[in-house]
C-alpha cells in the first residue's frame, strides 16, 4: 500500500511526475485482511495527509490469487464509498509494464511480463510502445519517448513451458519465473504503487468516471459450493 502524489508537468503533456509519499509492504499470503487497513492509515500518518485530502483510490485488479484480490478490491471500494472518492482499477501486469518500461530504450522493443500464478503456472501479457493514434491494444501509460505503452496480448494464464517468448525482447516479473526465458531481465518484479498510479493517471487527471472494479481471476477459484445432492449424501 502506498500514498502517491501526481503532478502534471504541462497542461498539454501527458507526462507526469509521480512521487511516493509513504509505503508499506507485507509479504504474507495469510495476512491480507489483518494488515491492509492499518497500513493504509499508517501511510496517511507517515505522509502527513488526512483522509479528506485524498482525491481518488487506485487498486490492482490482478491477475492474482482469489482471496488477495477480493480483500484488496473490497477494501479499496469501501474506502471510496466511505470518503466519496472515485476508485480506479488497474491490471497488475500493466503496472509492472509501466514501471519496467523506464529501462527500455529500443524503439522496437516488446516486453513480456510474467508473474506467479501458483500451480506451476504464470500470468502473462505482452507490451510494446506504439503511436497514440495507432494503439494496438489496451493503453497502459505514457512512455518517456512520448509514445504510448500498449498491451498487445494477454493477460492469460499457462505453464512457463507453454508460453512462447515470441517477438519479446525483454522480460520483467516474478524472479522465480523470468529465468524460464532467454531474455534480458528488467528489475521490476511486482506491481509498484507508482506503476499503478501511472496507469490510471490519464483517468485521474481527466476525472473520468471509473469503470467497474472487475477482478482478473483468469481461472475458477479452488473453493466451490457443494451441490445439494452432495450435502444430502
**pLDDT > 70? residue 233:** no
Mean pLDDT across the stretch 73-77? Answer: 96
pLDDT value of position 147: 76
Residue 57 cell numbers, joined:
483510490
**pLDDT > 80? residue 180:** yes
**pLDDT > 80? residue 97:** yes
**pLDDT > 90? residue 221:** no
pTM, to two decimals: 0.87
| Domains of the chain in sequence order | 2-91+192-206 (3.30.420.40), 92-178 (3.30.420)
Q: How far apart are CA 169 and CA 112, in angstroms?
A: 8
**pLDDT > 90? residue 156:** yes
Asked whether 184 and 171 are in contact (CB, 8 A), the reply is yes
pLDDT value of position 19: 87
**Could you tell me the pLDDT band of residue 130, with boundaries at 50, 70 and 90?**
confident
pLDDT value of position 8: 46
**Could you tell me the pLDDT band of residue 44, with boundaries at 50, 70 and 90?**
very high
Residue 27, C-beta contacts closer than 8 angstroms, at least 6 positions apart? none
**pLDDT > 80? residue 79:** yes
Mean pLDDT across the stretch 78-93? Answer: 97
**pLDDT > 90? residue 210:** yes
pLDDT value of position 226: 62
pLDDT value of position 5: 59
Residue 153 cell numbers, joined:
496480448
pLDDT value of position 154: 94
Asked whether 52 and 84 are in contact (CB, 8 A), the reply is no
pLDDT value of position 224: 58
**pLDDT > 60? residue 61:** yes
**Could you tell me the pLDDT band of residue 10, with boundaries at 50, 70 and 90?**
very low
Mean pLDDT score of the chain: 86
**Cis preceding-peptide flag for 63 (omega within 30 of 0):** yes
Q: Taking the alpha carbons of 41, 46, 48, 54 in that order, is the dihedral positive or negative?
A: negative
**167 to 110, 152, 171, 185: CA distances (angstroms):** 7, 11, 11, 15
pLDDT value of position 131: 79
Asked whether 65 and 117 are in contact (CB, 8 A), the reply is no
Q: Write out the chain in H/E/C secondary structure.
A: CEEEEEEECCCCCCCEEEEEEEECCCCCCCCHHHHHHHHHHHHHHHHCCCHHHCCCEEEECCCCCHHHHHHHHHHHHHHHHHHCCCEEEECHHHHHHHHHHHHCCCCCCEEEEEEEEECCEEEEEEEEEECHHHCCCEEEEECCCCCEEEEEEEEEEECHHHCCCCCCCEEEECHHHHCCCCCCECCCCCCCHHHHHHHHHHHHHHCCCCCCCCCCCCCCCCCCCCCHHHHHC
pLDDT value of position 25: 83
Of 87, 38, 39, 36, nearest in space to 59 by CA = 87
**Could you tell me the pLDDT band of residue 141, with boundaries at 50, 70 and 90?**
confident
Amino acid at each position: 500500500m502506498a500514498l502517491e502524489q501526481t503532478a502534471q508537468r504541462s497542461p498539454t503533456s501527458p507526462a507526469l511526475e509521480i512521487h511516493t509519499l509513504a509505503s508499506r509492504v507485507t509479504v504474507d499470503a495469510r495476512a491480507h485482511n489483518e494488515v491492509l487497513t492499518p497500513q493504509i492509515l499508517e501511510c496517511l500518518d507517515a505522509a502527513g495527509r488526512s483522509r479528506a485530502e485524498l482525491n481518488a483510490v487506485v487498486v490492482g485488479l490482478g491477475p492474482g490469487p482469489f482471496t488477495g484480490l477480493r480483500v484488496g478490491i473490497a477494501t479499496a471500494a469501501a474506502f471510496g464509498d466511505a470518503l466519496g472518492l472515485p476508485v480506479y482499477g488497474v491490471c497488475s501486469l500493466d503496472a509492472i509494464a509501466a514501471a519496467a518500461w523506464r529501462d527500455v530504450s529500443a524503439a522496437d522493443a516488446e516486453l513480456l511480463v510474467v508473474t506467479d500464478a501458483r500451480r506451476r503456472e504464470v500470468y502473462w501479457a505482452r507490451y510494446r510502445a506504439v503511436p497514440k493514434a495507432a494503439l494496438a491494444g489496451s493503453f497502459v501509460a505514457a512512455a518517456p519517448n512520448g509514445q504510448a505503452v500498449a498491451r498487445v496480448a494477454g493477460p492469460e494464464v499457462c505453464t512457463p513451458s507453454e508460453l512462447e517468448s515470441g517477438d519479446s525482447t525483454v522480460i520483467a516479473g516474478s524472479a522465480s519465473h523470468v529465468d524460464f526465458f532467454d531474455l534480458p531481465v528488467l528489475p521490476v518484479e511486482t506491481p509498484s504503487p507508482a506503476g499503478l498510479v501511472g496507469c490510471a493517471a490519464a483517468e485521474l487527471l481527466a476525472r473520468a468516471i471509473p469503470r467497474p472494479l472487475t477482478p482478473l481471476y483468469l481461472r475458477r477459484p479452488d473453493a466451490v459450493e457443494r451441490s445439494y445432492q452432495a450435502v444430502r449424501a
